Amino acid sequence: MNNTLKEILGGMSEGLVLVGFDGRVRYSNAAAERMTGLERPQPLPPGPLREAISRIAQSPNADAAEFVLRESSASVVKARCLPGMQMGEAVVLLTESRKEGLYRQALDNLMTVIGLDLREPCNQLAGSLNALIEDQPELAEQLEAVNKVSELLGKLADLGQLWGSDGFDSEDRIVLHEMLAEIWTELSPQAKQHGVRVSINGLNADSAPVYGSRVWLKRALEECLREAIASSAKGSNVEIEGRQIGQRIMLVFRNLGFYAPPEAGSRSFLPVPTVSAERRAEAVIGLNLCKRIVELHGGALREECEFDQLDFVVELPTGAPVRSNNSELDLAQAKRYAADMSRLLARRNKAKDAPAAG
């Protein structure tokens, strides 16, 4: 084999092995050596590859044989064995594929089990307990525990659904100050129960909108506020501060009080000493779910902790988030974003040129 041919074969991403009918390797490129460890003049070990070479030696016109040569938890190496271009020789072509598809299938199966075999029975049990609680108020504690398990399983199922996703199909126009007001309306009973005050400031109708999935982004921001409230001691203040910096919006969920003690059920995302290990482990799923949702909107979520102050910081782009290669959808979203920015600039210029009140 001349050097030019060796260089061409050596640069192939697929594996190629030339094997004599005596079962010895005559040539293997770098990819084949990485996949199988076979090198010249190493003899083939007993197995399907050697058996395929023997069949070709007995019948040079035999059809190509295809089989799985090696399989691990991360990849599958498939071999295709066929007669060579020289007498007394066979060619083995090797391809390696990662098992992302198998991981996705296994994850989907696990999420199905969680939803049908775990969460659904929890919901049924909660319904039964709820029907009995009026006559047996002592069941309230058990009902609360079942609801927490069901909530946790729901978060886990949602996280599994989003983990392998590369974006949302939705192109919702989301006005954050309106969404935050809606979330606060829903969570105000929880804040009242905890004795926690919440203030929202920094964003208004002139703030640039963000784009993506309204349902999922609301889920993430709601979880951030819920955890900020849950990790606050009675009498604390939770502040949601919005800032627009260029083409990004930053939301800071700030706990302006001391952490609630572990026995109060604090479930802070952060591993602070006053939060029990059990509660910290429970909250990791919620944190990862929020992070994944924000990431799929082209943003980032981080935690900041200093002394008695806990911040969840969410950064979101005001333009189209990073998503799949759907050019028509991206173009439509870009046009909508440009129209929004034009209206925003027009309102600001009008306010700037208006005469001052005398």
pLDDT (0 to 100) of residue 307: 58
In the chain, where are the structural domains located?
3-98, 100-164, 167-348
Backbone angles phi, psi at 350, to 5 degrees: -65, -40
Per the CB < 8 A criterion, the answer to whether 227 and 197 are in contact is no
Q: How far apart are CA 353 and CA 332, in angstroms?
A: 32
Instruction: Please indicate whether the domains covering 3-98 and 167-348 agree at the CATH topology level.
Output: no
pLDDT (0 to 100) of residue 324: 46
pLDDT (0 to 100) of residue 179: 92
pLDDT tens digits along 251-290:
988 876 544 444 443 344 443 434 444 455 456 777 788 8
Q: How far apart are CA 242 and CA 332, in angstroms?
A: 27
Q: Which residues of the chain have pLDDT under 70?
A: 1-2, 73-74, 98-108, 163-167, 256-283, 305-310, 319-358
| 175 to 40, 128, 180, 331: CA distances (angstroms) | 66, 40, 9, 20
Three-class HEC string of 64-121: CEEEEEEECCCEEEEEEEEECCCCCEEEEEEEEEECHHHHHHHHHHHHHHHHHHHHHH
Q: How far apart are CA 213 and CA 179, in angstroms?
A: 12
Backbone angles phi, psi at 269, to 5 degrees: -65, -30
pLDDT (0 to 100) of residue 72: 74
Q: How far apart are CA 55 and CA 7, in angstroms?
A: 30
* Beta bridge partner(s), residue 251: 242, 314
Per the CB < 8 A criterion, the answer to whether 286 and 132 are in contact is no
Q: What is the pTM of this model?
A: 0.54
Beta-strand relationship, 172-174 and 237-245: unpaired
Its CATH class, for the domain covering 3-98, is alpha beta
Among the four given CATH numbers 3.90.1150.10, 3.30.565.10, 3.40.1580.10, 3.40.1180.10, the one describing domain 167-348 = 3.30.565.10
Backbone angles phi, psi at 233, to 5 degrees: -75, 160
pLDDT (0 to 100) of residue 185: 92
Q: Residue 161's Cα: distance from chain center in Å?
A: 8
The tokens for 39 are 């090198």
pLDDT (0 to 100) of residue 187: 92
Backbone angles phi, psi at 301, to 5 degrees: -125, 135
Q: Which residues contact 194 (CB under 8 A, 6 or more apart)?
A: 229, 230, 232, 234, 260
Tell whether the torsion through CA atoms of 322, 323, 326 and 328 is positive or negative.
negative
Q: How many residues belong to the chain?
A: 358
